[in-house]
Amino acid sequence: MIESKVNKELERQIDLYVNGKLNADETDELWAELIQDQYYLDYMKSVANLKAVIDKKKQAQPTAKIYSLPNVMRYAAAAAVIIIAGVIGVMNYNTTGSMAVDPIEQIGLDVVRSSDGFSETVESEIIREAIKLATDGEVNEAITLLQSEMETVDSSQLKAELALSLGSIQYNNGQYQESVESFETVITQNQIEVLTLEKGYWYLGNSYFQMDRLEEAEEAFKNAYALNGAYSRIAKTYVDALTSAGR
């Protein structure tokens, strides 16, 4: 008999989260549970992406009938609406009972965690175009586009966002040294949004982790944790795991 994965309370919490109705503590508790449950982590990604599709349809057709998320989710598996939303690392318990961590496999290009829920809006047309190129397999074209744009912008925030997208594409392509350089560009920009800075440190730490440069990875994770934002809790878990490993 196949074990049922249905957890109505967790599904309810996920629905509240993607609609921005959980407070900071509730959000942290939810993510602490999701990072150890791949089934419901994938479920949350589906809900978040599906919500974006429904919201767009609402705007285009105000009088159209919109079904509730739990009902629509039954048909989501057949819909090609999901890109990558992988912002969580791989966490497990080793045979001694202590927590072990691995660097994240992919960085999401469309959906990221924020303290208020999910944000999938990309302000820059160039970044949107680069994401489309990358998800269509035109990685080199996406990288070139972002690099060229970075040379022309004056805004520190926009440059950081471009570098963040560039580093994410490089990371997903296995170009970890190049992604380090891009994420270092993010964290060295002045007066940028805290969430952008936090993501810069979080992804920088994972890039170092991929190259087995654990001291530098731990330092980057510590900086992400110190900002006390959306990635703080998981960054702290990585710091604790690397510290306990003794390097």
Residues 208/214, Cβ–Cβ less than 8 Å: yes
Averaged confidence pLDDT in the chain = 76
- Distance, CA of 110 to CA of 200 (rounded, Å): 16
Model pLDDT for residues 74-119, shown as the tens digit of each residue: 333 333 222 233 344 454 434 344 457 889 988 887 644 444 444 4
Model pLDDT for residues 90-102, shown as the tens digit of each residue: 544 343 444 578 8
What phi, psi does 8 have (nearest 5°)?
-60, -40
Rg from Cα positions in the chain: 18
Model pLDDT for residues 17-40, shown as the tens digit of each residue: 878 888 877 776 777 677 556 667
The dihedral region occupied by 97, where left means phi > 0, alpha psi between -120 and 50, and beta the remainder, is left
Model pLDDT for residues 136-176, shown as the tens digit of each residue: 999 999 999 999 999 999 999 999 999 999 999 999 999 99
pLDDT of 61 > 70? The answer is: no
Domains of the chain, by residue range, sit at 122-247
Q: Spell out the CATH class of 122-247.
A: mainly alpha
